[in-house]
Amino acid sequence: MSTLDDGTPNDPEQDVPNNEDPPAAPEVGTPEHIKVLGEKTGFGDDITKWQKGYADLHGLVKGDANVVRLPGDSATDDERNEFYNKLGRPAEKDGYKLELGDTVKEDTVTWFRDAAHKAGLNQQQAQAFADGLSQLVSDRLDADQKSFDDQAQAAFETLKGEWGDKNNANMAVAKQGNALVAEALGDHIKDDQDRNVLDVIENAIGTERYIRLMHAIGGKLGEDVITGGETGKSGFEAMTAAEARQRLTDIQGDKDRALAVTDPQHPKHKDAIAEWKRLNEIAHAARKS
């Protein structure tokens, strides 16, 4: 008895070659033929599916606008564009009505419309991708803001530990420096991307270094005295009582300058209190005379 490698006996009947011809295909139109087609197409004996299949085929042959032919590998650009347009792609890239939110810049929206149109996306598909892009940008901005807030808080803690009791006064000087720089920049405070240039600087060098920089500027450029006009005389000598009273009002309305007057620990307290006293002397001189 012959055996296979696994020891299973051969079936003598299966060793006999089959010389019979394969069964003939059923004649077109016969019930057997319809049954075979139903199995191959998945229509089975569902008359509704057969009717829809016939309508689709008829539409494809006749060029029905609701029936599309998939472009092959050799399709031309015109054929592909016709296919995309039939699937709902706008005729022009500006035809997309997209909602991307305020976090996505306009130049990014323009790029996205162009890319979506080249890819053949319809309105619904483009909006789905736009939603994903908007969420990605929003998540990144949130992450960047958290990172900035964390380093800023660390900077405040570092400076507070270093400056101790003078922290509030030094912070006031830094704010004064920041205000002076912002005032000096004037209309140039915004860059070509409409960003505050001082914010850009702080982001670039970090909050701790930025505060130290503004503290140094505030200490150097803070108003120690009021300078005069073209005469070159001291502003106090040329100042009227009304001008002095207005200057006192201005100081009271400026929290940083007012703090310099009232806080003995403020690094500019000595100069500020001297200015305050001189302004009061001028403001009330006319009443005493």
What DSSP string runs through the chain?
--B-TTSPBP-GGGGS---PPPPPPPPTTSHHHHHHHHHHHS-TT-HHHHHHHHHHHHHHHHT-TT------TT--HHHHHHHHHHTT--SSGGG------TTS-HHHHHHHHHHHHHHT--HHHHHHHHHHHHHHHHHHHHHHHHHHHHHHHHHHHHHHHHHGGGHHHHHHHHHHHHHHHHHHHGGGGB-TTS-BHHHHHHHHH-HHHHHHHHHHHHHHHS-SS-B--TT--BHHHH--HHHHHHHHHHHHH-HHHHHHHH-TTSTTHHHHHHHHHHHHHHHHHHHH-
Angle between helices 167-185 and 123-163 (to 10 degrees): 130
CB neighbourhood size of 173 (10 A): 25
Domain co-membership, 59 together with 103: no
159 — pLDDT class (breaks 50, 70, 90)? very high
Domain co-membership, 57 together with 105: no
Query: pLDDT tens across 45-71, in order?
Result: 666 776 566 566 655 555 555 566 677
What pLDDT does residue 14 have?
A: 54
Residue 185 lies in a domain: no
Query: pLDDT tens across 88-106, in order?
Result: 788 888 888 888 777 778 8
Domain co-membership, 54 together with 107: no
Residue 175 lies in a domain: no
**Can you read off the two tokens belonging to residue 219?**
């200490």
- Domain boundary (109, 138, 167) is at 138
Q: Does the pTM exceed 0.85? A: no
Question: What domain count does the chain have?
Answer: 3
**Can you read off the two tokens belonging to residue 280?**
């009061």
160 — pLDDT class (breaks 50, 70, 90)? very high
Query: What is the distance between the terminal CA atoms of the chain, rounded to a whole angstrom?
Result: 143
Residue 265 lies in a domain: yes
Residue 170 lies in a domain: no
**Can you read off the two tokens belonging to residue 279?**
């302004």
Residue 197 lies in a domain: no
What pLDDT does residue 56 have?
A: 63
Q: Are 72 and 101 in contact (CB under 8 A)?
A: no
Residue 104 lies in a domain: yes
242: containing domain:
224-289
Residue 32 lies in a domain: yes
Q: Which residue has the higher pLDDT, 36 or 177?
A: 177
Residue 214 lies in a domain: no
What pLDDT does residue 209 have?
A: 94
Query: Can you tell me the mean pLDDT for 206-222?
Result: 85
Query: Can you tell me the mean pLDDT for 15-27?
Result: 63
Query: pLDDT tens across 238-260, in order?
Result: 567 777 788 888 888 888 888 88
Query: Is the model's pLDDT at 77 over the cut of 70?
Result: yes
